[in-house]
A and B are shown apart, each in its own frame.
Chain A
Amino acid sequence: MSDVKEITPINLMLFGIIGGLVGIYLSPYFPTAGALGAICAVIWSAEAVRRVAKYGLGTGVPSIGQIAMGMGIIAAMFGLAMVKSMPLAGPILALITASIIGFIIGWFAQHVIKMKIPVMIRCMTEIAAAGALIIIGFSASVAGNYDFVGSLIPKVFDNGVILAVFWVGAVAMLHPFNACLGPDEKQKRLLYLAGSTGAITMALMGIAAVMTLGASGSITLLLGIVLWLIFYKKFWDEVYNDAAAVVGTGLIPKTEA
């Protein structure tokens, strides 16, 4: 369609998985890293939502963000809770579980409900996996690490921050395509918007982190606001670039007699 070179899905997937996992594994030493990792996963998931929602789901783009978070939260809880003896395996187990749940739901959507979307299974797997990383990443930035029973339950579940992680994370994932969809939708613009929704989620998690972790949470808050301004400015510039290409058709020529 367009001659603009797009980033391939596989590269974004690697970016999301590696960035997300590195951020989560660094979160016990530097909680803000969890949120940065989650932003990588948000950018990946926005691309996956873009690919599947392009076909028209019939129910609106928000539904796919919500199912992603529903699958992600189940898998995240499972992955983190199951590995008591070796906690390092938790996030990876969550990622694998989410992929399996996503694959099964995608398979059913494609072959039982018969949605006839060729990329359904692959994208469902990807958004479920990304959903799990988003939830673990943002939760870890609030709790200070990703230990389920010791930290996440008292610091994220009990005080209800998990609801904010769930909802704001879902919006961060679904909003970019929901806002950009249409004939002139471009990947670059969408990814910048995904970065900005991820960053504003990070800023909100920073507010929660100030409550749970004290002063070190303010780094998450301030960095989130700075990243949001940067990404939003980039998105703004892209909108202006693309808008000129659409609107600049010139005046309607006068008919000559």
Chain B
Amino acid sequence: MVFLDPTTIIDILLIGLSGTLICLAVHFIPVGGAPAAMAQATGIGTGTVELAAGSGLVGLITSSYMYAYEPSASVALVMAAGAMGSAIMLASTMLAGGFIYAYGVAVPFASAQVKKDPITGERQDIYVSKGTQGQGIPTICFVSGVVGAALGGAGGGLIYFVLMGYYSPLITTHAAAVAGVFTMGVFYVNSVIPSYGVGGTIEGVHDPKFKRVVPKDVFTSAVVSMLCGIVAILIAGGMTA
């Protein structure tokens, strides 16, 4: 069978790795959910899936653009393009959200999970309003979010690159659409799994929850993504005329 071929196994592992990157990315992004939308928790005021998928899909667009217009692009270049696209998308989301929290809602940015911001060293606890879980997007959350988005975009770019290698010899001009849609499917599966793990909200890399939930979420994502990888390569087998 084709499965025993070492390149096939490496490709399945690569798809597994990219799914794992997307899963890991979700944990870095400061997701506040509904409480953050009311400025009662730190982070961006929407759900994990929306943020991960929104930034990840922009990463998919930038990486596919790189793949389409630079035929000799290496995998690193495609991944970097995806990482840049995602990071810019999430950074602008957080910047715009930050303006609204600062000048619209008028809350000081503070994290309730750490006493001092690990990057700036500013004290956090005295700025947290009573009865809330922090407000806005402090520096550590912003940096963590940008790193997370870059990981997610790189993961999306990697799946796309691997799948294009399989599909483009078989269905030439149609390959981009099929690979893109498959990547989107893997993206959604891998952004929802960690969102169940974190239970809706996480502040970023400094959140105590991060260490607690990352191992089991990453394990789940790795297994599920490798399954998706096997499916993706079998699909290519079905395309041969």
A73 proximal to B (CB < 8 A): yes
With contact pairs A62-B49, A63-B49 given, residues A108 and B174 touching in the complex (Cβ less than 8 Å) = no
- Nearest chain B CB to A230 CB, angstrom units: 32
Asked whether B200 lies within 8 Å of A58 as measured between CB atoms, the reply is yes
Contact of B181 among A59, A73, A75, A104 (CB under 8 A): A73
B217 proximal to A (CB < 8 A): yes
With contact pairs A82-B234, A105-B224 given, residues A60 and B47 touching in the complex (Cβ less than 8 Å) = yes
B171 proximal to A (CB < 8 A): yes
B73 proximal to A (CB < 8 A): no
Q: Which residues of chain B are near A149, meaning CB under 8 Å?
A: 171, 238-239, 241
Complexed CA–CA distance, A112 and B197 (Å): 9
Asked whether B187 lies within 8 Å of A70 as measured between CB atoms, the reply is yes
Contact of B196 among A77, A81, A113, A163 (CB under 8 A): A113
Closest A residue by C-beta to B215:
A112
Chain A interface category by residue count = 35 or more
- Nearest chain B CB to A91 CB, angstrom units: 14
Q: Which residues of chain A are near B186, meaning CB under 8 Å?
A: 70, 74
A-B CB contacts (within 8 Å), total count: 132
A211 proximal to B (CB < 8 A): no
Per-residue interface assignment for chain B, residues 176 to 199, with 1 indicating a CB less than 8 Å from any chain A CB and 0 otherwise? 011001101111110111011101
Closest A residue by C-beta to B236:
A81
Asked whether A157 lies within 8 Å of B239 as measured between CB atoms, the reply is no
Q: Which residues of chain B are near A162, meaning CB under 8 Å?
A: 177, 181
- Nearest chain B CB to A175 CB, angstrom units: 15
- Nearest chain B CB to A156 CB, angstrom units: 9
B223 proximal to A (CB < 8 A): yes
Q: Which residues of chain B are near A113, meaning CB under 8 Å?
A: 193, 196-197, 213, 216-217, 220
Secondary structure dominating the interface of B:
helix
Asked whether B238 lies within 8 Å of A59 as measured between CB atoms, the reply is no
B106 proximal to A (CB < 8 A): no
Complexed CA–CA distance, A74 and B199 (Å): 25
A223 proximal to B (CB < 8 A): no
With contact pairs A112-B219, A149-B171, A157-B181 given, residues A84 and B47 touching in the complex (Cβ less than 8 Å) = no
Complexed CA–CA distance, A143 and B224 (Å): 30
A101 proximal to B (CB < 8 A): yes
Q: Which residues of chain B are near A97, meaning CB under 8 Å?
A: 231
A38 proximal to B (CB < 8 A): no
A67 proximal to B (CB < 8 A): yes
With contact pairs A59-B47, A82-B238 given, residues A153 and B196 touching in the complex (Cβ less than 8 Å) = no
With contact pairs A66-B188, A113-B220 given, residues A59 and B177 touching in the complex (Cβ less than 8 Å) = no
Q: Which residues of chain A are near B100, meaning CB under 8 Å?
A: none
A229 proximal to B (CB < 8 A): no
Interface residues of A in 61-116 (CB under 8 A from B): 62-64, 66-67, 69-71, 73-75, 77-78, 81-84, 97, 101, 104-105, 108-109, 112-115
**Further contacts, 4 of them, CB under 8 A, given A113-B197, A113-B216:** A73-B182, A73-B184, A73-B185, A77-B235
* B binding-site residues for A, Cβ under 8 Å: 33-34, 47-50, 53, 171, 173-174, 177-178, 181-182, 184-189, 191-193, 195-197, 199-200, 213, 216-217, 219-220, 223-224, 227-228, 231-232, 234-235, 237-239, 241
9 A-B pairs with C-beta separation under 8 A: A59-B195, A63-B49, A73-B181, A74-B231, A75-B231, A84-B238, A105-B193, A105-B224, A162-B181
